[in-house]
Amino acid sequence: MLYCAPNKKYSDFIIVRDPDKCIDCRVCARQCSYEAHVYDESTGKVFSDDTRCVGCHRCEAFCPSGALLIRQNPSEFRDNAVWKPWFIKNIYKQAETGGVLLTGMGNSYPYPVYWDKMLLDASQVTNPSIDPLREPMELKTYLGSKPDALRIDAGSGEVRLAGGFTPQIAINYPILFSAMSYGSINLNVHKGLARAAEEMGILYNTGEGGLHASLYRYGRNTIVQCASGRFGVHSEYLNAGVAVEIKIGQGAKPGIGGHLPGEKIGPEISRTRMIPIGADALSPAPHHDIYSIEDLRQLIYAIKEATDYKKLVFVKIAAVHNSAAIASGMVRAGADVITLDGFRGGTGAAPTMIRDNVGIPIEMALASVDERLRQEGIRNQASLLVAGGIRCSADVVKAIALGADAVYIGTAALISVGCTVCQRCYTGKCPWGIATNDPFLAKRINPEIAHEKLANLIRAWGHEIQEMLGGMGINAIESLRGNREKLRGIGLNESEMNILGIKHAGA
C-alpha cells in the first residue's frame, strides 16, 4: 500500500486481485478515475491502493480476466452500537480538513422505507382480474389543472365541452425523469434522457443548469427548470419545453442552495448556464423574489405571462414537516403541478448531515398532501408528482394508490445507464461517465445506448404496472389514483397508518 496518513488506512473497501488471473493488462488502471490501480513501469505489474477505492465496481466490471473483486473492508473497530465506523471515519476526515462533509445521491441511513411496509391488493372471485396482455389497459396520464366541474354544450346538436381546459400534458407512462442539471451530469446522459423520453412519450427535466442548444428539438418531452440561480433561464428557454418547473427545494438537501464548483464550468456549460468559465455556480438557498406564497404566485404568473399561458407551471418542494400546508398554498398560488421530493431523493452534491438528517419520507408527505388537498376541495386544481427513492414499479403503483398522479425517477434512471450508487458524484470523477464533464470519462456514456436502456426501463416498469393493475381488476391508472383501499400496511403502528390513510393487513 502506498503511503498515506495513518487514519486514511481504514479504507471503506478492499480490492481483491487474484494473482493467478491478473494479466497486468492495465484495463483497471485506465478505468479507475480515482487512481486506485497503478501500473508500475519498472516491474510491469499493476498494484492497487485500497484507500483510493470508492467502491464503484468499474474495474471489476471491465477486468477481462475476472481477476478483481471489490469488497467491503472487513476490518472492524471494536463492536459499538453507538460509535459506528461511519461516525469514526467522518470525524477523522473532518479533523484532517476542517471541512463540511460532502456526499452524493440520496439519504442512505436505515430509516423506514414505507414502500416496503405496504402491500397491494388483488381481485379474487368477486370482481375479475384483467389480463393486460389481451385486454385494454390504460397507463396514459394527463398532467395539469382540472376544472371544478365540466360544462357540456349541446346546443347545436353536437355535444361539446364548454369553456375548455388550461393546458394539459399527456404522458404515456406515469413515470418521468427527474431534474438533473447539465453540469451535474453530462450532455451524453442528457441526450439519452431526452431521446428516451421522446420514444416513450414521457418527459425529462433539464434541472437548473439550462438547456443545451442541441436539445431544443426534444421540447415536446422537456420540462425546463427555473431555480434560484436562474442559470440559463431566458424567454426562449421558458418556451422550449411543455412545462416550467420552479424548483424551491430538493429532497436531498431541503433548505439549502446548490453549488456547482468552478472546476466543472467548462466552455459548453458556461455558455448554457450563462456564467463565466471557471466561476462557481451558486444557487442561493431561497429564490430571493419568493419569501411568501404571494411571491410564489408572482413568479408563477410571471412565467405564465412570459409563455402566454401555454405552458404548465410546476412547483417543486422538498418533503418537509409542513408540506401539506405549503402544498395547499402552492395550489392556491396557481401551480398546475406540485412536485414533492422526499428525503431519499438524489443529488450531485449535498452536505452529508443535511442529506441524512433533514426532510421526511416521500410516502408520508404524499399521503398528507393528497389528503389535505382533498379536504380543502382543491386536489383537482393541480396534479401531484412525487420523487425521492422510487426503486421499482411496485413503488410507482403504491405511490399512485396513495394519491400521486405520476412519479419522477432520477437515481433509478442513472442506475439503468450504469450508476452503482457509490455516492461520489460531487468529485466530478464518475468512472461510469455519468456525473462528470471530463471528456475522457463522459464518452463512456454513449447517448444511443443510454437512450435504449432508459427506454427499456420504462417499458419494463410499464408492463409490470399493467400486471399489477390488472390483478386489482383496474383497467386504467387513473382509477387507482388515491385509491388507498388497494393498500394495506404491514408492521406499521397506529399513527403511521393514520398518516398514510391505510388499514393494516388483515383489516
Residues of this chain that interact with other proteins (CB under 8 A) are: 93-94, 96-102, 226, 228-231, 233-236, 238-239, 259, 261-262, 270-271, 274-276, 278-282, 284, 288-289, 298-299, 301-303, 305-308, 426-427
The residue among 289 and 485 lying less far from other proteins, judged by its C-beta, is 289
The residue among 164 and 377 lying less far from other proteins, judged by its C-beta, is 164
Nearest-approach distance from CB 266 to other proteins, in angstroms? 13
Nearest-approach distance from CB 231 to other proteins, in angstroms? 8
What stretch of H or E contains 28?
A: helix 27-31
The residue among 172 and 427 lying less far from other proteins, judged by its C-beta, is 427
Q: Which residues contact 253 (CB under 8 A, 6 or more apart)?
A: 318, 347, 350, 351, 354, 355, 358
Burial of 318 (0-12, 13-18, 19+ CB in 10 A): buried
The residue among 306 and 392 lying less far from other proteins, judged by its C-beta, is 306
The residue among 204 and 231 lying less far from other proteins, judged by its C-beta, is 231
The residue among 19 and 98 lying less far from other proteins, judged by its C-beta, is 98
Nearest-approach distance from CB 301 to other proteins, in angstroms? 7
Q: Which residues contact 366 (CB under 8 A, 6 or more apart)?
A: 319, 340, 342, 384, 386, 399, 402, 403, 404
- CA atoms of 321 and 281, how far apart (whole Å): 29
- CA atoms of 242 and 167, how far apart (whole Å): 9
Nearest-approach distance from CB 97 to other proteins, in angstroms? 4
The residue among 142 and 301 lying less far from other proteins, judged by its C-beta, is 301
- Is residue 335 within 8 A of residue 365, CB to CB? The reply is no
Q: Which residues of 379-408 are buried (b: 16+ CB within 10 A; e: fewer)?
A: bebbbbbbbbbbeebbbbbbbbbbbbbbbb
Nearest-approach distance from CB 253 to other proteins, in angstroms? 13
CA neighbours closer than 13 Å in the CB half-sphere of residue 457: 27
- CA atoms of 340 and 362, how far apart (whole Å): 7
Q: Which residues contact 136 (CB under 8 A, 6 or more apart)?
A: 475
Nearest-approach distance from CB 298 to other proteins, in angstroms? 6
Nearest-approach distance from CB 92 to other proteins, in angstroms? 10
- CA atoms of 499 and 485, how far apart (whole Å): 14
- Is residue 470 within 8 A of residue 137, CB to CB? The reply is yes
Q: Which residues contact 321 (CB under 8 A, 6 or more apart)?
A: 360
Nearest-approach distance from CB 48 to other proteins, in angstroms? 21
The residue among 262 and 491 lying less far from other proteins, judged by its C-beta, is 262
**DSSP assignment letter at 302:** H
Strand 222-226, strand 243-247: pairing: parallel
- CA angle, residues 69, 74, 75, in degrees to nearest 5: 130
Best CA proximity match to 137, nearest among 461, 460, 474, 405: 474
Nearest-approach distance from CB 368 to other proteins, in angstroms? 32
- CA atoms of 334 and 293, how far apart (whole Å): 10
Nearest-approach distance from CB 36 to other proteins, in angstroms? 15
- CA atoms of 231 and 223, how far apart (whole Å): 15
The residue among 79 and 305 lying less far from other proteins, judged by its C-beta, is 305
The residue among 90 and 124 lying less far from other proteins, judged by its C-beta, is 90
The residue among 193 and 430 lying less far from other proteins, judged by its C-beta, is 430
Nearest-approach distance from CB 260 to other proteins, in angstroms? 11
- CA angle, residues 14, 15, 17, in degrees to nearest 5: 140
CA neighbours closer than 13 Å in the CB half-sphere of residue 454: 35
Which three cell numbers mark 409?
425517477
Nearest-approach distance from CB 338 to other proteins, in angstroms? 22
Nearest-approach distance from CB 342 to other proteins, in angstroms? 25
Which three cell numbers mark 302?
410571471
The residue among 164 and 506 lying less far from other proteins, judged by its C-beta, is 164
The residue among 336 and 363 lying less far from other proteins, judged by its C-beta, is 336
Burial of 487 (0-12, 13-18, 19+ CB in 10 A): buried
